[in-house]
Amino acid sequence: MGIVLFGGEKGGTGKTTLATNMAAMLALQGKDVLLLDTDRQGTASFWATVREDTEIEPRISCVQKFGKGLASQVRDLAERYDEVIVDAGGRDSMELRYALGVCDRAYIPVQPFQFDIWTIRQMDELVEMAQGLNEEMQAFIVLNRVSTNPAVREDRETREFFRTEDFQHLALVEPVLRDRIAFRKSARDGLSVPEWKLDKKAVEEMNQLFREVYGG
């Protein structure tokens, strides 16, 4: 059992995109995975419903949970599944805080063009607080929607910035996801990018991220 969180305080950064893709990719490996949607917008649940309605295999269990009891519920659920993936979002969300308290690893997607020091610094502090209770937890930043135009050097610039800022509780992972239609279109069909298949570069990026998060 493992609990991996995709979270962050900003909306629209890619939390659900990452969470749903990782869930499907684990399921494709034969893992019994639970996708836990703690975002009231319910985007992950919607994705799972589309998947269910179109009878896409493998089936993925998805439940919604909010509020106070979340931490203990996540722990209980983790006993019953190989892997639990938590999609936690929203500004000042209580769910994000609880999830940080129980997860093994947290991945925070950030878009280079939305990148702001203040938000990352806040996340760094939030992670520090969570590690006070959940000592083994590790938190990472994932760059998402990086420009596919090589002339735009967002990736390198963000990395350089990250090095100079030297956040204490956040590490920037090597794999990045670029801005690709495939990430949007596959989600609409209740699929992961590898199942959608039509964009090899997108599949490769998601595979690299998967290896980063789950090893192997």
Ligand X SMILES: Nc1ncnc2c1ncn2[C@@H]1O[C@H](COP(=O)(O)OP(=O)(O)O)[C@@H](O)[C@H]1O
User: Do the bridges between strand 83-88 and strand 171-172 make them parallel or antiparallel, or are there none, so unpaired?
Assistant: unpaired
Complex with ligand X: residue 1 or 11, whichever CB lies closer:
11
Complex with ligand X: residue 51 or 145, whichever CB lies closer:
145
**Is residue 176 near ligand X by the rule CB under 6 A?**
no
Structure-token pair, residue 162: 């990250």
* 3-class SS letters over 163-185: HHHCCCCCEECCCCCECCHHHHH
Closest CA to 95 of 74, 76, 118: 74
CA distance 188 to 25: 17
**Is residue 112 near ligand X by the rule CB under 6 A?**
no
Complex with Mg ion: residue 16 or 21, whichever CB lies closer:
16
**Is residue 14 near ligand X by the rule CB under 6 A?**
yes
**Contacts with Mg ion, residue ranges (CB under 5 A):** 15-16, 39, 43, 89
What is the nearest approach in angstroms of ligand X to the Cβ of residue 85? 13
Interaction residues for ligand X, span 25-64 (CB under 6 A): 43
CA distance 12 to 119: 14
- Burial level of 65, CB count in 10 A (0-12/13-18/19+)? middle
Q: Which of 71, 95, 143, 145 binds ligand X (CB under 6 A)?
A: 145
**Is residue 16 near ligand X by the rule CB under 6 A?**
yes
- DSSP state, residue 178: B
Structure-token pair, residue 191: 């699929």
Q: Which of 184, 197, 200, 201 binds ligand X (CB under 6 A)?
A: 184
Q: Give contact residues for ligand X (rule: CB under 6 A).
A: 11-17, 43, 89, 144-145, 177, 179-180, 183-184, 187
